[in-house]
């Protein structure tokens, strides 16, 4: 049986390969996928697949690089840098800007066996919006 860190690594390789179906295969059928800054939860493996397809459409070169990893029991925590270029429409009809971004993020995952039962992503939405030219720079 693979360790949860091994499974997490395979999931990230599938994400970097832009394979929404493969990414979703690492999630439990009744999983909860939370992306705190981006809005509503995805519930269930099919919803994760749909969500990831939208990410890959908006950011076809999106990539995550893992900086640090921690595991305890059935939980993992990953510090990562997410990069990409906004080449497709965002939810809500925001057209592509063609601009690149680089945002630090933290991902906390709870596993049930070798499948992700629940995951929460934390990252700075304002930093992303500023880099894409969709929000004015912070004053000062």
pLDDT digits (tens, 9 = 90+) for 7-64: 999 999 999 999 999 999 999 999 999 999 887 789 999 999 999 999 999 999 999 9
CA distance to 65, 98, 116, per residue, from 23 (Å): 16, 25, 11
Among 118, 128, 123, CA closest to 34: 118
Residue 12 C-beta-side C-alpha neighbours within 13 Å = 20
Q: Does domain 4-131 have CATH number 3.40.50.300?
A: no
What is the domain partition of the chain in residue ranges? 4-131
Query: Residues 15, 21, 23, CA angle at the centre, nearest 5°?
Result: 35
Record the pTM. Answer: 0.92
Q: Which residue has the tokens 């720079």?
A: 137
């Amino acid at each position: 049986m693979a360790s949860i860190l091994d499974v997490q690594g395979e999931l990230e390789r599938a994400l970097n390969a832009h394979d929404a179906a493969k990414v979703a295969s690492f999630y439990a059928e009744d999983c909860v996928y939370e992306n705190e800054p981006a809005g509503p939860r995805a519930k269930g493996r099919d919803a994760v697949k749909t969500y990831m397809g939208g990410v890959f459409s908006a950011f076809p070169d999106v990539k995550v690089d893992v900086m640090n990893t921690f595991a305890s029991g059935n939980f993992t925590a990953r510090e990562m840098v997410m990069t990409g270029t906004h080449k497709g429409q965002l939810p809500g009809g925001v057209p592509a800007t063609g601009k690149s971004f680089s945002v630090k993020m933290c991902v906390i995952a709870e596993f049930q066996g070798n499948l992700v039962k629940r995951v929460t992503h934390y990252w700075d939405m304002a930093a992303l919006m500023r880099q894409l030219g969709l929000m004015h720079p912070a004053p000062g």
